[in-house]
Every structure is written in C-alpha cells, then in structure tokens.
Amino acid sequence: MSLATPVSRLLSRVPALWTSGPLRESLFYALGLIATRAVSLLMLPVNTHFLSVSDYGRLEVLLALADVGAVVFGLALPTTLSRFVGAVEAWDERRKVCAHVFAVLLSATLLVMGYGLKGVLAAGATAALAQGLACSLVVLRETGVRLKGIEWGPFTLFSGPLLLSALAMFALGSLDRWFLADAVGTAELGIYGVAVRLGAMTAVLLQPFHMWWFPKRFIVLNEPFGVPRSAHVVGIGLVIIMVSAMAVSLGGPLVLELMTPPAYHPAIYLIPWIALIYGVQETSSLLELGSYLRRDGFIPLATNLFGAAVVVTLYWLLIPPYGVAGAIAATLTAQVARTILVHVVSQYYKRLPYDFGRLGLVLAVAAASTAVCFLFLKGAWIFAGGVVAVPLTAATAYALGLLSPYRPPAQDEAG
C-alpha cells in the first residue's frame, strides 16, 4: 500500500510530459541543460583524435576568447529576458541543443575531411549563425520587434550587475587559459583542457538536484520548519556534490583512456583536482541562499568580484613559475575563499543550521578513499577502486542520516 501510492502518483504524471505545461517545459529545460553541458564530452574523442595536443591547446585559448565575447556582447540579456518575460528557458534550451547537435555533426565532418582546428572553429561559427538566424525568424514571427516604450531602467538595473558578475565568473572559469598559453605553451594547455572537459562533468551530475531544489528553495525557506528543512536539503546536495566529484575523478581515467589517444593520458592525474574545483564551486551555489534574500543582486556581484580579484592575483603569482599546477592551485584557493565568503554573508542574512560535523566525516571518507585509489592503482584501474569508494561514501552519508527525508521535531517526538 505504501509503495503503490507513490508509484501510482508518479505514473499518473507521465501523460503530462506529452502535453504543454510547466512539467513538460521543466523536463525540456533540464534535459537541454544537461545535453548542452555534455556536448563537449561527446566531441572529446573526435577532437582529440583529429587534433594534435598543441592544436587542442590553441582551441582552448580561442574558446576562452569566445567565452568572454559571449558574456560582453550578450549583456546578460537571456537571464534578463527570462526574469521579465517568464518561462522562456524551455525554448532557449531546446534551441541550444539543436544548435549544439548541428555543431557536433558539422565539426566532426570537417575534422574527418582534414580541416583540423579551422574546421572546428568554422563549424562552431556556422552553428552559431544558424542558431541566431533561426531564433531571429521565430522572434519576428511570434512577437515582432518593438523599439518604442522600452523600459531601459529596470532592464539596466537587473542586467548590469549580472553582466559584471558573469565577467567575474569568467575570470574564475576560463581566464587561466590565457595565462597558461604564455607560461607553458599550447601542448600542455591541451592536456589541461581535456582534464577540464572531464572534470566539468561534476557540475553536470548535480543538475537534476539543481532543477529540483533551486525553483522551490525560497518557498521552502518561508514554510513552517523551513529553516532546518532547507539546511537538511542543502546537506543532501552537498553529499551529491561529493559523490559526483568522486565519480568523475575515479571514472575519468577510464573514459580518458577509452576515448583519447595516449598523448592526452597525462590528464588523468589532473581530473581529480578539476573535479574538486567544480565541487567547491557548486558548494558555493548551494550555500548562497541568504545572499539572494535582498532585493538586488549586488551581494552575489560582490562575492564574485572578490573571487575574481583573488584568482587573477594568484594567476599572476603562481602560473609563471608553476604552470598548470599553479593554475589549479590558484583556482582552487580562489573558489574556496569565495565559498567561505558566500557562506559567511548568507549566514548573516539567514542563519541555517548546517550539520557540518557529519558532512565533514563524509568528506573525510571521500577524500581518503579517492586518494587511496590514485596512490595504489594506475590508469583505467582507478575506476575499479571507484566501484568500491563511491558506494562506500554514499553508504557513510546514509548511515549518518544525511540522506533521509527531513522530519520536523514534532514528528520525531510523536514517533
């Protein structure tokens, strides 16, 4: 009876996925977001097979330039549009998926035909132009273009801090390629770029939790027992981050050896550090709840600018003498410092009782088991250690009660 009821409720929602509505739009958005993030992984064996390590490093530098161009010329308008218009994300993500699939097919074709790095860039540019043309046609057909009566004030007030914040996050995410290009050359940068592509999957694995929790976190916070329940849910998210980072760190070596030529295999020992960086970054996104309780976005902007200032300073100090190791140390230090600041500021606006004691025990198990796997296993065999280490960490979190549903104090006393 207890099992049949939730199952029947779940099955009753399946037809809703095929009809227009919030559930289907949320599903499209979630799948689109994950697919968009996973495109780089799908292209990894193609790019690494047809591009030399040096060419892949040049590609990383050029993609970093494209990233900052997208931030500057985009003016944070997609987020502004979704804020003032409503649930536009579903169409936006479907559009991105179509464009990325087209880019993958075209890029692979040009690589096979021998166009190399220029083929990859041409494919990306062609896909972006096709995407922009298709989107323009849809906008002209559905809404038209209206220049009169634009309320520039609210748009500027909302998108201005977002633009500056996005530029700050660019410094934390892609600026290291520019420093590394001068310090270590494109070959070592290519190996680093492959490690980043795999390490970034840590954030992708957290997307389903993001899609479930982020839209409702402010609603839950204001409900009865909302503060302890929010802290408990964030704790579940932190466990998911640890397990995801472990899965990427310990599964990445097998993926790398299966999908890339031997010249890229030194990236195996960089993947855990990149996964850790993304894990810290996602931790910050879960702990920032209190920062968004103000009516403006200047607190997130300030914390991102702080992180950018720290990371640029450390890049300047550490990358010239230490190369890739300096870049990783600088990024990790800046992300940790930013996360601590985010937590302190968020706790100032709304104190949440996080159970850092039990979470620390899970983190210790995760770190120790991952380190043992890399110390005593080599190459793809690290994956075999992960088959034991990842479930062990999840079981530890479960045994400590971190993964159980939240129960208000009144229910505990009644039981």
Q: What is the pLDDT of residues 208-257, one digit of tens each?
A: 888 888 878 888 888 888 899 999 999 999 999 999 999 999 999 999 99
More confident residue, 137 or 198: 198
Q: Token pair of 61, please?
A: 């530098």
Please report the pLDDT score of residue 82 as a whole number: 43
Tokens of 198: 């795999």
* Residue 183: per-residue pLDDT: 86
Q: Establish if 412 belongs to a structural domain.
A: no
Only one residue has tokens 């579903």, namely 90
Statement: residue 362 has pLDDT above 80: yes
Band of residue 11 on the pLDDT scale cut at 50, 70, 90: very low
Q: How far apart are the first and last CA of the chain?
A: 20
Q: Which residue has the higher pLDDT, 96 or 332?
A: 332
**Has residue 268 got a pLDDT over 60?**
yes
Q: What is the mean pLDDT of residues 82-95?
A: 45
Residue 68 structural domain: 22-404
Residue 409 located in a structural domain: no
State the Cα–Cα distance between residues 371 and 52, nearest whole angstrom. 31
Is residue 8 a part of any domain in this protein?
no
pLDDT tier at 299 (50, 70, 90 boundaries)?
confident
> What average pLDDT score do residues 8-37 get?
53
Residue 102 has pLDDT above 80, yes or no: no
Kindly tell me if the per-residue pLDDT of 273 is higher than 70: yes
| Model pLDDT, residue 177 | 85
Q: Is residue 2 part of a domain?
A: no
Q: What is the rounded distance in angstroms from the CA atom of residue 210 to the CA atom of residue 30? A: 9
Structural domain includes residue 354: yes
pLDDT, position 222: 85
pLDDT at 74 over 80: no
Q: What is the pLDDT of residue 189?
A: 86
Is 384 within the bounds of a domain?
yes
- What is d(CA 415, CA 399) in angstroms, rounded to the nearest whole number? 19
Confidence (pLDDT) at 126: 64
Tell me the average pLDDT of the chain.
Answer: 76
Higher pLDDT, 235 or 138: 235
Give the per-residue pLDDT at 108. 47
Give the pLDDT confidence score for residue 20 in this predicted structure.
Answer: 46
Asked if the structure places residue 4 within a domain, the reply is no
Highest mean pLDDT among 16-20, 62-66, 78-82, 213-217: 213-217
Q: Based on the number of CB atoms within 10 Å of its own CB, is 304 exposed (0-12), middle (13-18) or buried (19 or more)?
A: buried
Measured from the Cβ of residue 123, the count of other Cβ atoms closer than 10 Å reads 22
pLDDT value at residue 392: 97
Q: What percentage of the chain carries pLDDT values higher than 90?
A: 37
At 85, the pLDDT band (50, 70, 90 cuts) reads very low
* Structure-derived torsion over alpha carbons of residues 254, 255, 258, 260, reported in degrees to the nearest 10: -120
pTM exceeding 0.85? no
* Mean pLDDT, rounded, for 119-138: 60
Q: What is the number of structural domains in the chain?
A: 1
Is 87 within a domain? Answer: yes
Q: What is the pLDDT of residues 26-59, one digit of tens each?
A: 555 556 666 666 666 777 776 676 676 777 666 6
Alpha carbon distance 209, 213 (integer Å)? 6
pLDDT-wise least confident of 87-96, 196-205, 302-311: 87-96
